[in-house]
Amino acid sequence: MNIDAGILTGVTGAILATISLIYARSQAHAQRHQVEEMQRQTEETRRAQHFETSHALMKDAIEARQAWAANFRKEWAPPTIGTPLEKTLALLDENWDVLFRVRAYVEQLQEMFFARKADLVADDHWRVMHWLVRSFFAPEIDRTIFESFIEMGWVTPEFAKFGRDYVADAVWKDPLGRLAPIQGRALISIPGERKN
């Protein structure tokens, strides 16, 4: 049986065109996937750099404040911050070093909270954070100090609400909503009125 050379050439051309089309589509898909992956990695790098920069700035600010506080006198404090500051200092036997160590610890907890909100903290690390936060809020003195930090504006309103809510209901919640809440033993209510 003789096959016409034109038909054979046409069929071969169609097969080659189909193969080329399939190859081109797979290449386009691979390139699109590669671009998406590069965009994801770039975004993750940007977020990590932003967090590192923010962390470094916060650490520098705390260190500067601690250095300034070493020479601070209570009479220099304006009346608006004198009351909670004096109360906190009285609880800590007028020890500025201890005050700023507690503040640095609360700042670290706050940074972890916002890092989790930005999805920069792994699920396992967030679960561990539950015990760090619980150990801070368990003693009444720490809850009182936390309230004074809120009054002085040393913690953000969002973290203040998170801390107050945790103390009020002892439920550890994931800001991302990815993990199931952990119900802990109830803590004694913090001083002052709880704000929703």
Residue 196: predicted pLDDT: 42
Which has the higher per-residue pLDDT, 194 or 53?
53
Binned at pLDDT 50, 70 and 90, residue 193 comes out as: very low
Which has the higher per-residue pLDDT, 24 or 66?
24
Domain contains 17:
no
pLDDT higher than threshold 80 for residue 172: yes
Domain contains 67:
no
Domain contains 64:
no
Tokens 């993750």, residue? Answer: 44
The string over 102-114, giving b where at least 16 C-beta atoms fall within 10 Å of a residue's C-beta and e elsewhere, is: bbeebbebbbbbb
Domain contains 106:
yes
Which has the higher per-residue pLDDT, 2 or 9?
9
pTM metric for this prediction: 0.56
Domain contains 193:
no
Main-chain dihedrals φ then ψ at residue 182, nearest 5 degrees: -110, 120
Domain contains 3:
no
Domain contains 142:
yes
pLDDT higher than threshold 90 for residue 159: yes
Query: Across residues 120-147, what is the average pLDDT?
Result: 83
Residue 58: predicted pLDDT: 60
Mean pLDDT, rounded, of the chain: 78
Residue 134: predicted pLDDT: 83
Binned at pLDDT 50, 70 and 90, residue 195 comes out as: very low
Work out how many domains the chain is built from and give that number.
Answer: 1
pLDDT digits (tens, 9 = 90+) for 4-17: 777 777 778 788 88
Binned at pLDDT 50, 70 and 90, residue 170 comes out as: confident
Main-chain dihedrals φ then ψ at residue 126, nearest 5 degrees: -65, -40
The winner for highest mean pLDDT among 52-56, 64-68, 149-153 is: 149-153
Residue 188: predicted pLDDT: 60
User: 3-state class of 139 per DSSP?
Assistant: coil
Nearest to 165, CA basis, from 131, 135, 189, 139? 189
Q: Which domain holds residue 109?
A: 72-183
How far is residue 111's CA from residue 100's CA, in Å, rounded to a whole number?
16
Residue 160: predicted pLDDT: 93
Domain contains 13:
no
